[in-house]
Amino acid sequence: MKISAADLFGKVRARKPLIHQITNFVTVNDCANATLAIGGSPVMTSSPKEVEEMVNLADALVLNFGTIDDKALEAMEIAGKAANANNIPVILDPVGVGATSYRTEKVAELLKKVTFQIIRGNASEILRLMGGDIVTRGVDSGELQISNAELAACAANKLNSVIVVSGAKDAVSDGKNTSIIHNGNLLLTNVTGTGCMATALIGTFSGVTDDFYSAAVAGISTMSISGELAAAKLQKDEGTGTFRVRLIDAISRMDKEIWLNEVKINEEVPN
């Protein structure tokens, strides 16, 4: 799997997949820039009147619940169904699910209407998607009595998707195989949108393969490694603003060799 994930960097640079994103208006620019930095081509169309036509041109579709409303939901349902009909992978970022009854109910409705190949969220969000009784404070993850790896594996089986659980240790699971990624830096939690950017990266890798497990590993680990590399470049008088810029720089420089040299990953495989 590690080699499979590593090989995706060259494929993205060569193919420049078109990634359609109906996403969070707070982070839409950073999501587009992260997609460009890794080698993809972003399109951020969100009007219900054109998303079906646009998604049919895309290599992957990312749906982000960060600033959800009725219009965005309509567009997501239209685009998601069109993507499913045309075998275009769909990636869900259930931002803030559990914070309000509206977004919790609406994501449950969308899960019944659209098939998602990959779902990425923090532990609280993923548990809530599974029906767990937890209230999410904004987009922050609460303390849970289950590891991210265990949660990812359980959720993958229940939701029938590759699951990415973000946290101090990111976990990716397809229900049979699970990877734990030990990269990252605390500064990633102090910049708005790094989770959304990670989902955009996952979507970009998904646009060049049908191995969605490897795509998820490549995407989430790229963000975590880039956070480490960006933090290491900071001077003593530089802070989160400079870190944000250096983060995009690090993503833009990421390739197979850097990734293999920097990634810290444990792979759990079935007996």
User: What percentage of the chain carries pLDDT values higher than 70?
Assistant: 93
Q: What integer pLDDT is reported at residue 7 of this predicted model?
A: 95
Q: Is the pTM of this model over 0.85?
A: yes
Q: What integer pLDDT is reported at residue 3 of this predicted model?
A: 64
Q: What integer pLDDT is reported at residue 267 of this predicted model?
A: 83
What are the structure tokens assigned to 19, written together?
């990634």
| Tens-place pLDDT, residues 32-59 | 999 999 999 999 999 999 999 999 999 9
Strands (E), 97-169: 118-122, 162-166
- Pick from 163, 166, 178: which is nearest to 129 by CA? 163
What are the structure tokens assigned to 251, written together?
């993503």
- Pick from 75, 68, 100: which is nearest to 20 by CA? 75
Written in H, E and C, the secondary structure of 21-59 is EECCCCCHHHHHHHHHHHCCEEECCCCCCCHHHHHCCCC
User: What is the Cα–Cα distance from 269 to 45, expressed in whole angstroms?
Assistant: 39
User: What is the Cα–Cα distance from 140 to 190, expressed in whole angstroms?
Assistant: 11
Q: Is the pLDDT of residue 171 over 70?
A: yes
3 state DSSP class of 160: coil
The total number of structural domains that make up the chain: 1
- Domain housing 214: 2-165+172-268
Q: How far is CA 139 from CA 65, 136, 174, 194, 271, in A?
A: 10, 7, 24, 12, 36
Q: Which residues contact 133 (CB under 8 A, 6 or more apart)?
A: none
User: What is the Cα–Cα distance from 199 to 91, expressed in whole angstroms?
Assistant: 8
User: What is the Cα–Cα distance from 265 to 255, expressed in whole angstroms?
Assistant: 17
User: What percentage of the chain carries pLDDT values higher than 90?
Assistant: 89
Per-residue pLDDT band for 144 (boundaries 50, 70, 90) equals low
Q: Which residues contact 237 (CB under 8 A, 6 or more apart)?
A: none
- Domain CATH code at residue 251: 3.40.1190.20
| Tens-place pLDDT, residues 70-114 | 999 999 999 999 999 999 999 999 999 989 999 999 999 999 999
Per-residue pLDDT band for 258 (boundaries 50, 70, 90) equals very high
Find the helix or strand (DSSP H, E) in which 267 lies: strand 265-268
Per-residue pLDDT band for 137 (boundaries 50, 70, 90) equals very low
